[in-house]
Amino acid sequence: MAHPFSQRIYLGLGSNTRPYENLRSCLDWLAHSFGHLVVSPAYRSPAYGFSGADFINLVVAIDSAISPQALKSWLVWLENIHGRNRQQPRFSDRTLDVDILLFGNLVAPQWQIPREETFQQPYILKPLRDLAPDLTPPQSEQSVDMLWQSMQARGHAPIEPVDLGWPKEQSQKSG
């Protein structure tokens, strides 16, 4: 039974350094720590903001009563054990990048919730749409599906589905 104070939390995961290994390991850690995961399909996209290897990105939904501050601290630790180098520029290769995209209906600028890039980058918005097309994020008047359709109409950098090879019984895929 879910904790009565549980929130649906959406996390954006990305990597362009040993991405299959690092993302599968991250998913294993998340499943071990939070239980059932709802996992989007994974997508390959060009590096954004710098010249580098393509990224693999996906979105994961968890239900937890954890606080945003505690979750953020845990995610920094998770990135660190996967070799994240915090001395690099913001736009650079990453072993693992995990961002809190949405945390229930919380609006908390101090933790960058909701994450602004969620609604500006196809490699985040498409997998979020795969999981929650009818979701209307806080401070938005449009559903995730409507936001995605608007982005498609404007054109965007190419993204292509890839098989991450993570256990299918843990995954949910939809169009």
Does residue 124 lie in a domain region? yes
6-28 confidence digits (pLDDT tens)? 899 999 999 999 999 999 999 99
How many structural domains is the chain composed of?
1
Which pairs count as long-range contacts for 118-122, CB under 8 Å and 24+ apart, including other chains? Answer: 118/12, 119/147, 121/48, 122/45, 122/151, 122/156, 122/157, 122/159
Q: How far from the centroid of its chain's Cα atoms is residue 51's Cα?
A: 21
pTM, full prediction: 0.89
The arithmetic mean of pLDDT across residues 84-103, rounded, is 83
49-85 confidence digits (pLDDT tens)? 778 899 999 999 999 999 999 999 999 999 999 988 8
Query: Structural domain of residue 116, as residue ranges?
Result: 7-166
Do 23 and 15 form a contact (C-beta atoms < 8 A)?
Answer: yes
Extract the tokens encoding 141. 């008047």
Does residue 174 lie in a domain region? no
- Which CATH number characterizes residue 109's domain? 3.30.70.560
Does residue 24 lie in a domain region? yes
Report whether pLDDT(167) > 90. Answer: no
